Amino acid sequence: MDDNTNKIMADVKKIAPIFIVAGGLLVMAYFWKSFYVQIESYERGIVMQFGHLSSKVLMPGPNFRFPYPIQKIFKVDVVNDRKLYIGFKEALNGERIHNEREALTLTKFGNLVDLEMEVNYYISDPAKYVLKVEDPDVTVKQSAESAMRMIVGRHSIDEVLTESKRFIVEEIFERLQQVLDSYEVGVTVRRVQFVKAVNPSLVIEAFEDVENAKQDSGKAYLDAQRYNNQKVPEARGNAGKQIEDAKGYAESILAKARGDSARFVQLLDKYTKYKKVTRKRLYLETMEEVLPKVKKIIVDKETNTANFLPLGKL
């Protein structure tokens, strides 16, 4: 061998250990990547072995596995809630971007309402979540929108926009969970809420007029009720007083009539016994009662003059 060949061989012998170490590291890295998988604390690992679901679920930490195509691992977050939005979406800066196509919903009697709804859910069965449907998150959103439109369509716009909407939200919650369970999506709904529920901009002014009219009607009804509560007791009191006055008047008339009747009976008895005296007495009593009320003029036949005498004052 010449000097150049010897030199090359010497250089190769020097760097050979480096290549061996590097190769060993690469083999170890490949082995680690192929035969071990890291599962985070909030995750679970679903194992597919030869295309079939394995009963083994990988827990948090490093886990041994066989490389693909023997095994395939699906990591699933089972701790953190997931959110979906209907009628809007959130920008990166947190601003809500309205989606009118999703938001406009038909209510009972054909009225439209502008709804924005948020759904919170979590993965309760990782295996079903991975295997039962192709895109579970899309399925959850489509099911939520369907449940919202179905339940809202059973209620009037007044119920959707007032305090009754909390009962509507509960109905949507129950309906959505029933649908997801029937699809075996493997998720559980934690919360459903209306972020916004208003009349569409095209009819909101008319709706406000209707609401104002309802408030005015309610106020008028309350005023009428107060007036009724005030006047009815007064009328009842006045009626009672008039009845009592009438009873008192009737009793006084009866008493007077009884007294007059008794007096007449007494006079008749005296008249029967002393006709002449009684007749004279009655005549004088009558004149005594009548004459003071009459203006009297006395005429002197001899002088043919009239003298006015105030007999009533004598």
Q: How far apart are CA 88 and CA 100, in angstroms?
A: 8
Instruction: Tell me which of 202, 224, 242 is where a domain ends.
Output: 202
**Is there a domain that residue 313 lies in?**
no
**Is there a domain that residue 314 lies in?**
no
Query: What is the CB neighbour count within 10 angstroms for residue 75?
Result: 17
Instruction: Tell me which of 52, 77, 102 is where a domain ends.
Output: 77
Q: Please check whether residues 138 and 222 belong to one and the same domain.
A: no
User: Which pLDDT score is estimated for 151?
Assistant: 96
Range of the domain at 217: 205-273
Answer with the residue of higher pLDDT: 68 or 195.
Answer: 195
Q: Residue 131: which H helix or E strand, with range?
A: helix 126-131
Q: Please check whether residues 65 and 94 belong to one and the same domain.
A: no
Q: How far apart are CA 254 and CA 275, in angstroms?
A: 29
Q: Please check whether residues 136 and 156 belong to one and the same domain.
A: yes
Q: Please check whether residues 73 and 102 belong to one and the same domain.
A: no
Summarize pLDDT for 291-301 with one digit per residue, the tens: 776 666 666 66
Question: In terms of C-beta distances under 8 Å and separation of at least 24 residues, what long-range contacts does 23-28 make, across chains too?
Answer: none
Q: Please check whether residues 212 and 179 belong to one and the same domain.
A: no
- The predicted model gives 129-155 an average pLDDT of 95
Instruction: Tell me which of 171, 202, 233 is where a domain ends.
Output: 202
Closest CA to 189 of 240, 131, 222, 141: 141
Question: Which range is least confidently modeled, 112-126, 228-242, 269-283?
Answer: 269-283
Q: Please check whether residues 86 and 198 belong to one and the same domain.
A: yes
Q: Evaluate whether 108 touches 156 at the Cβ level (below 8 Å).
A: yes
Q: Please check whether residues 211 and 197 belong to one and the same domain.
A: no
Q: Residue 240: which H helix or E strand, with range?
A: helix 204-273
CATH number of the structural domain spanning residue 129: 3.30.479.30
Answer with the residue of higher pLDDT: 268 or 215.
Answer: 215
Q: Among the ranges 65-69, 165-169, 205-209, 282-286, which has the highest mean pLDDT value? A: 165-169
Give the chain's domain count.
4
- The predicted model gives 221-231 an average pLDDT of 80
Q: Please check whether residues 213 and 243 belong to one and the same domain.
A: yes
Q: Please check whether residues 60 and 11 belong to one and the same domain.
A: yes
**Is there a domain that residue 58 lies in?**
yes
Q: Among the ranges 26-35, 186-195, 281-290, which has the highest mean pLDDT value? A: 186-195
- The predicted model gives 20-31 an average pLDDT of 61
Q: Among the ranges 104-118, 199-213, 263-277, 287-301, which has the highest mean pLDDT value? A: 104-118
| Banded model confidence at residue 184, pLDDT cuts 50, 70, 90 | very high
Token duo for residue 137: 């998150």
Look at residue 160 and give its three-state secondary structure: helix
Q: Please check whether residues 211 and 295 belong to one and the same domain.
A: no
